[in-house]
Amino acid sequence: MTETDWIRTGAAGAFYECPRWHDGAWWVSDLYADRIVTVSEDGRTDTVVGLDGDHPGGLGWLPDGSLVFVAMLARKVLRLRPDGRVVEHADLAPHCPGPANDMLVLPDGTAYVGCFGFDLNGGEHPRTAPLLRVLPDGTVEVAARDLLFPNAAVLTDGGRTLVVGETFAGRHTAFTRAPDGSLTDRRTWAQVAPAPPMAPTAEMIAGLGYAPDGCAVDGSGDLWVADAVGARVVRVRRGEGIVGQRDLPAGLGAFACGLGGDDGRTLLVCAAPDFHPGARAAAREAVLLTTRVATAA
Protein backbone atom coordinates (compact mmCIF):
# COMPACT_ATOMS: atom_id res chain seq x y z
CA MET A 1 0.00 0.00 0.00
CA THR A 2 1.09 3.61 -0.44
CA GLU A 3 1.31 6.46 2.04
CA THR A 4 -1.97 7.83 0.73
CA ASP A 5 -3.75 4.67 1.91
CA TRP A 6 -3.15 5.67 5.53
CA ILE A 7 -5.48 8.12 7.25
CA ARG A 8 -4.17 10.04 10.24
CA THR A 9 -6.48 10.51 13.21
CA GLY A 10 -6.22 12.29 16.54
CA ALA A 11 -3.61 14.68 17.85
CA ALA A 12 0.13 14.02 17.76
CA GLY A 13 1.52 12.45 20.91
CA ALA A 14 4.79 11.48 22.56
CA PHE A 15 4.66 7.70 22.04
CA TYR A 16 1.34 5.95 21.52
CA GLU A 17 0.85 2.31 22.52
CA CYS A 18 -1.77 -0.30 23.47
CA PRO A 19 -4.81 0.89 21.44
CA ARG A 20 -8.24 -0.48 22.36
CA TRP A 21 -11.64 0.12 20.75
CA HIS A 22 -14.20 0.67 23.51
CA ASP A 23 -17.57 2.43 23.70
CA GLY A 24 -17.29 3.93 20.23
CA ALA A 25 -13.80 5.40 20.59
CA TRP A 26 -10.13 4.48 20.60
CA TRP A 27 -8.40 4.40 23.97
CA VAL A 28 -4.62 4.73 23.76
CA SER A 29 -1.72 5.00 26.20
CA ASP A 30 0.64 7.88 25.43
CA LEU A 31 3.62 6.43 27.28
CA TYR A 32 6.12 9.27 27.46
CA ALA A 33 3.44 11.89 27.99
CA ASP A 34 2.28 9.82 31.02
CA ARG A 35 -1.38 9.86 30.02
CA ILE A 36 -4.22 7.79 28.56
CA VAL A 37 -6.32 9.42 25.87
CA THR A 38 -9.46 8.71 23.91
CA VAL A 39 -9.76 9.47 20.21
CA SER A 40 -13.24 9.78 18.75
CA GLU A 41 -14.11 8.77 15.20
CA ASP A 42 -13.88 12.41 14.15
CA GLY A 43 -10.36 12.63 15.60
CA ARG A 44 -11.05 14.57 18.81
CA THR A 45 -8.41 13.67 21.41
CA ASP A 46 -9.18 13.91 25.13
CA THR A 47 -7.05 13.00 28.14
CA VAL A 48 -8.78 10.48 30.42
CA VAL A 49 -6.16 10.12 33.13
CA GLY A 50 -2.61 11.28 33.74
CA LEU A 51 0.15 9.66 35.76
CA ASP A 52 2.68 11.47 37.91
CA GLY A 53 6.10 10.34 36.65
CA ASP A 54 5.07 6.90 35.39
CA HIS A 55 4.16 5.48 32.01
CA PRO A 56 0.80 3.82 31.27
CA GLY A 57 0.99 0.54 29.37
CA GLY A 58 -1.70 -2.03 28.61
CA LEU A 59 -5.27 -1.19 29.47
CA GLY A 60 -8.73 -2.77 29.66
CA TRP A 61 -11.95 -2.83 31.65
CA LEU A 62 -13.29 -4.77 34.61
CA PRO A 63 -16.83 -6.22 34.56
CA ASP A 64 -18.16 -3.14 36.38
CA GLY A 65 -16.81 -0.90 33.60
CA SER A 66 -13.82 0.43 35.54
CA LEU A 67 -10.73 1.22 33.49
CA VAL A 68 -7.61 -0.67 34.60
CA PHE A 69 -4.15 0.02 33.24
CA VAL A 70 -0.51 -0.86 33.78
CA ALA A 71 1.81 1.59 35.54
CA MET A 72 4.98 0.38 33.86
CA LEU A 73 7.69 1.71 36.18
CA ALA A 74 5.84 1.10 39.44
CA ARG A 75 4.96 -2.40 38.13
CA LYS A 76 1.36 -2.15 39.23
CA VAL A 77 -2.09 -2.42 37.70
CA LEU A 78 -4.10 0.68 38.62
CA ARG A 79 -7.85 1.25 38.52
CA LEU A 80 -9.69 4.46 37.71
CA ARG A 81 -12.62 4.84 40.10
CA PRO A 82 -15.89 6.49 39.02
CA ASP A 83 -15.02 9.47 41.23
CA GLY A 84 -11.82 10.02 39.22
CA ARG A 85 -9.39 8.70 41.83
CA VAL A 86 -6.72 6.21 40.75
CA VAL A 87 -6.18 3.29 43.13
CA GLU A 88 -4.05 0.16 43.13
CA HIS A 89 -5.65 -2.95 41.69
CA ALA A 90 -2.65 -5.30 41.70
CA ASP A 91 1.03 -5.19 42.68
CA LEU A 92 3.11 -6.94 40.01
CA ALA A 93 6.52 -6.01 41.42
CA PRO A 94 7.27 -9.25 43.35
CA HIS A 95 6.99 -11.24 40.11
CA CYS A 96 7.96 -8.69 37.44
CA PRO A 97 11.65 -8.03 36.68
CA GLY A 98 12.01 -4.79 34.77
CA PRO A 99 9.09 -2.59 33.70
CA ALA A 100 5.61 -4.04 33.26
CA ASN A 101 4.21 -3.87 29.75
CA ASP A 102 1.07 -4.72 27.79
CA MET A 103 -2.05 -6.31 29.27
CA LEU A 104 -4.98 -8.40 28.05
CA VAL A 105 -8.13 -8.01 30.17
CA LEU A 106 -10.87 -10.61 29.75
CA PRO A 107 -14.61 -9.99 30.22
CA ASP A 108 -14.55 -11.67 33.65
CA GLY A 109 -11.82 -9.30 34.87
CA THR A 110 -8.91 -11.73 34.63
CA ALA A 111 -5.83 -10.09 33.11
CA TYR A 112 -2.56 -11.30 31.62
CA VAL A 113 0.37 -8.90 31.89
CA GLY A 114 3.78 -9.09 30.22
CA CYS A 115 6.99 -7.50 31.46
CA PHE A 116 10.30 -6.52 29.92
CA GLY A 117 12.41 -8.76 32.14
CA PHE A 118 15.27 -6.22 32.14
CA ASP A 119 15.99 -2.52 31.83
CA LEU A 120 15.71 -2.15 28.05
CA ASN A 121 16.35 1.58 27.93
CA GLY A 122 19.17 1.39 30.46
CA GLY A 123 21.12 -1.09 28.34
CA GLU A 124 20.83 -3.99 30.78
CA HIS A 125 21.63 -7.43 29.34
CA PRO A 126 18.42 -9.18 28.20
CA ARG A 127 16.97 -12.01 30.25
CA THR A 128 13.74 -13.96 30.16
CA ALA A 129 10.60 -12.86 31.96
CA PRO A 130 7.22 -14.25 33.04
CA LEU A 131 3.71 -13.64 31.81
CA LEU A 132 1.58 -12.80 34.84
CA ARG A 133 -2.06 -13.57 35.54
CA VAL A 134 -4.04 -11.08 37.63
CA LEU A 135 -7.26 -12.45 39.11
CA PRO A 136 -10.32 -10.19 39.31
CA ASP A 137 -9.63 -9.55 43.02
CA GLY A 138 -6.09 -8.35 42.25
CA THR A 139 -4.23 -11.52 43.21
CA VAL A 140 -1.13 -11.97 41.05
CA GLU A 141 0.21 -15.33 39.86
CA VAL A 142 2.88 -16.41 37.37
CA ALA A 143 1.07 -17.85 34.33
CA ALA A 144 4.17 -18.75 32.26
CA ARG A 145 7.93 -18.41 32.70
CA ASP A 146 11.04 -17.90 30.61
CA LEU A 147 9.64 -15.80 27.77
CA LEU A 148 11.83 -13.41 25.79
CA PHE A 149 10.14 -10.04 26.33
CA PRO A 150 6.51 -11.21 26.54
CA ASN A 151 4.43 -8.60 24.77
CA ALA A 152 0.84 -8.27 23.57
CA ALA A 153 -1.37 -11.31 24.20
CA VAL A 154 -4.65 -12.29 22.53
CA LEU A 155 -7.15 -15.13 22.80
CA THR A 156 -8.06 -17.33 19.85
CA ASP A 157 -10.05 -20.55 19.32
CA GLY A 158 -13.03 -19.24 21.22
CA GLY A 159 -10.88 -18.34 24.22
CA ARG A 160 -9.19 -21.73 24.49
CA THR A 161 -5.78 -20.55 23.24
CA LEU A 162 -3.71 -17.63 24.46
CA VAL A 163 -1.05 -16.35 22.05
CA VAL A 164 1.70 -14.02 23.29
CA GLY A 165 4.41 -12.28 21.28
CA GLU A 166 8.04 -12.81 22.28
CA THR A 167 9.55 -9.62 20.93
CA PHE A 168 13.20 -10.61 21.31
CA ALA A 169 12.63 -14.09 19.85
CA GLY A 170 10.84 -13.17 16.61
CA ARG A 171 7.89 -15.43 17.40
CA HIS A 172 4.42 -15.89 18.82
CA THR A 173 3.97 -18.56 21.49
CA ALA A 174 0.69 -20.30 22.30
CA PHE A 175 -0.74 -21.86 25.45
CA THR A 176 -3.90 -23.81 26.10
CA ARG A 177 -6.01 -21.84 28.55
CA ALA A 178 -7.85 -23.89 31.17
CA PRO A 179 -11.25 -22.82 32.58
CA ASP A 180 -9.48 -21.51 35.70
CA GLY A 181 -7.22 -19.31 33.56
CA SER A 182 -4.04 -21.36 33.99
CA LEU A 183 -1.85 -21.91 30.93
CA THR A 184 -0.47 -25.26 29.73
CA ASP A 185 0.86 -26.97 26.58
CA ARG A 186 3.36 -24.30 25.58
CA ARG A 187 4.13 -24.38 21.84
CA THR A 188 5.31 -22.18 18.99
CA TRP A 189 2.35 -20.61 17.19
CA ALA A 190 4.46 -18.90 14.50
CA GLN A 191 8.25 -18.49 14.30
CA VAL A 192 8.26 -15.54 11.92
CA ALA A 193 12.04 -14.94 11.92
CA PRO A 194 14.97 -16.72 13.57
CA ALA A 195 15.54 -15.87 17.23
CA PRO A 196 18.93 -14.19 17.70
CA PRO A 197 21.31 -15.64 20.30
CA MET A 198 21.30 -14.07 23.74
CA ALA A 199 23.61 -11.05 23.62
CA PRO A 200 23.73 -7.39 24.74
CA THR A 201 20.54 -5.50 23.93
CA ALA A 202 21.86 -3.58 20.92
CA GLU A 203 23.23 -6.76 19.35
CA MET A 204 19.96 -8.63 19.84
CA ILE A 205 17.90 -5.81 18.33
CA ALA A 206 20.27 -5.64 15.35
CA GLY A 207 19.84 -9.39 14.87
CA LEU A 208 16.05 -9.34 14.86
CA GLY A 209 14.35 -9.82 11.51
CA TYR A 210 10.96 -9.44 13.17
CA ALA A 211 10.01 -8.00 16.56
CA PRO A 212 6.33 -8.48 17.43
CA ASP A 213 4.99 -5.57 19.46
CA GLY A 214 1.33 -4.73 19.98
CA CYS A 215 -1.18 -6.84 18.08
CA ALA A 216 -4.84 -7.70 17.52
CA VAL A 217 -6.66 -10.85 16.41
CA ASP A 218 -9.22 -10.86 13.59
CA GLY A 219 -12.26 -13.06 13.11
CA SER A 220 -10.31 -15.70 11.18
CA GLY A 221 -7.81 -16.18 14.01
CA ASP A 222 -4.98 -14.38 12.21
CA LEU A 223 -2.99 -11.71 14.03
CA TRP A 224 -2.32 -8.17 12.89
CA VAL A 225 1.05 -7.30 14.44
CA ALA A 226 3.18 -4.17 14.66
CA ASP A 227 6.74 -5.17 13.73
CA ALA A 228 8.88 -2.87 15.87
CA VAL A 229 11.96 -3.31 13.66
CA GLY A 230 10.27 -3.48 10.26
CA ALA A 231 8.30 -0.21 9.88
CA ARG A 232 5.25 -2.30 9.01
CA VAL A 233 2.20 -4.09 10.30
CA VAL A 234 1.84 -7.68 9.20
CA ARG A 235 -0.87 -10.31 9.18
CA VAL A 236 0.46 -13.51 10.79
CA ARG A 237 -1.13 -16.96 10.51
CA ARG A 238 -0.55 -19.92 12.79
CA GLY A 239 2.20 -22.17 11.48
CA GLU A 240 2.67 -20.09 8.31
CA GLY A 241 4.02 -16.73 9.40
CA ILE A 242 3.39 -13.53 7.47
CA VAL A 243 0.52 -13.70 4.97
CA GLY A 244 -0.02 -9.95 4.48
CA GLN A 245 1.84 -6.69 5.02
CA ARG A 246 1.16 -2.96 5.19
CA ASP A 247 4.23 -0.71 5.08
CA LEU A 248 4.15 2.53 7.05
CA PRO A 249 4.89 5.97 5.61
CA ALA A 250 8.59 6.76 5.38
CA GLY A 251 10.23 7.79 8.64
CA LEU A 252 7.78 5.98 10.93
CA GLY A 253 7.98 2.72 12.83
CA ALA A 254 5.02 0.63 14.00
CA PHE A 255 4.80 -0.15 17.72
CA ALA A 256 1.21 -1.28 18.32
CA CYS A 257 -2.04 -1.83 16.47
CA GLY A 258 -5.68 -2.59 17.15
CA LEU A 259 -8.84 -3.53 15.31
CA GLY A 260 -12.01 -1.57 15.90
CA GLY A 261 -14.52 0.84 14.47
CA ASP A 262 -18.22 0.15 14.26
CA ASP A 263 -17.70 -2.87 12.01
CA GLY A 264 -14.38 -4.06 13.50
CA ARG A 265 -12.51 -3.56 10.21
CA THR A 266 -10.53 -0.43 11.02
CA LEU A 267 -6.87 -1.16 11.72
CA LEU A 268 -5.32 1.55 13.87
CA VAL A 269 -1.51 1.71 14.12
CA CYS A 270 0.56 3.54 16.74
CA ALA A 271 3.51 5.01 14.84
CA ALA A 272 6.54 7.08 15.77
CA PRO A 273 10.00 7.86 14.36
CA ASP A 274 11.65 5.52 16.92
CA PHE A 275 11.18 4.13 20.43
CA HIS A 276 13.96 6.01 22.25
CA PRO A 277 12.51 7.54 25.46
CA GLY A 278 14.50 10.77 25.46
CA ALA A 279 13.66 11.67 21.89
CA ARG A 280 10.02 10.71 22.20
CA ALA A 281 9.42 12.53 25.49
CA ALA A 282 10.95 15.70 24.06
CA ALA A 283 8.72 15.88 20.98
CA ARG A 284 5.17 15.29 19.83
CA GLU A 285 5.89 13.22 16.72
CA ALA A 286 3.88 10.05 17.43
CA VAL A 287 0.81 9.60 15.24
CA LEU A 288 -2.19 7.32 14.94
CA LEU A 289 -2.81 5.94 11.46
CA THR A 290 -5.80 3.97 10.22
CA THR A 291 -6.59 1.81 7.24
CA ARG A 292 -9.26 -0.73 6.37
CA VAL A 293 -8.88 -4.51 6.38
CA ALA A 294 -11.06 -7.26 4.95
CA THR A 295 -11.69 -9.37 8.07
CA ALA A 296 -13.25 -7.84 11.17
CA ALA A 297 -12.12 -8.40 14.73
Alpha helices in the chain (DSSP H): 201-206, 277-281
Q: Measured between alpha carbons, how far is 147 from 193 in angstroms, rounded to an integer?
A: 16
Q: What is the pLDDT of residue 257?
A: 98
* Residue 23 banded pLDDT, cuts 50, 70, 90: very high
Q: Measured between alpha carbons, how far is 121 from 98 in angstroms, rounded to an integer?
A: 10
Q: What is the pLDDT of residue 121?
A: 80
Per DSSP, the chain holds a count of helices (H) and strands (E) of: 2, 24
Q: Is the pLDDT of residue 117 over 60?
A: yes
Reference 95, options 76, 69, 81, 80; nearest CA is: 76
* Residue 63 banded pLDDT, cuts 50, 70, 90: very high
Q: Is the pLDDT of residue 287 over 80?
A: yes
Global pTM reads 0.96
- The answer to whether the beta carbons of residues 217 and 154 sit under 8 Å apart is yes
Q: Is the pLDDT of residue 3 over 70?
A: no
Q: What is the pLDDT of residue 259?
A: 98
* Residue 193 banded pLDDT, cuts 50, 70, 90: very high
* Residue 124 banded pLDDT, cuts 50, 70, 90: confident
* Residue 123 banded pLDDT, cuts 50, 70, 90: confident
Percent of the chain with pLDDT over 70: 99
- How much is the mean pLDDT over the chain? 96
The mean per-residue pLDDT over the stretch 10-38 comes to 98
Query: Residue 47, exposed/middle/buried by CB under 10 A (0-12, 13-18, 19+)?
Result: exposed
Q: Is the pLDDT of residue 205 over 90?
A: yes
Tell me the DSSP string of 152-174: EEEEEGGGTEEEEEEGGGTEEEE
Number of Cβ atoms within 10 Å of the Cβ of 262: 9
Q: What is the pLDDT of residue 77?
A: 98
Q: Is the pLDDT of residue 122 over 90?
A: no
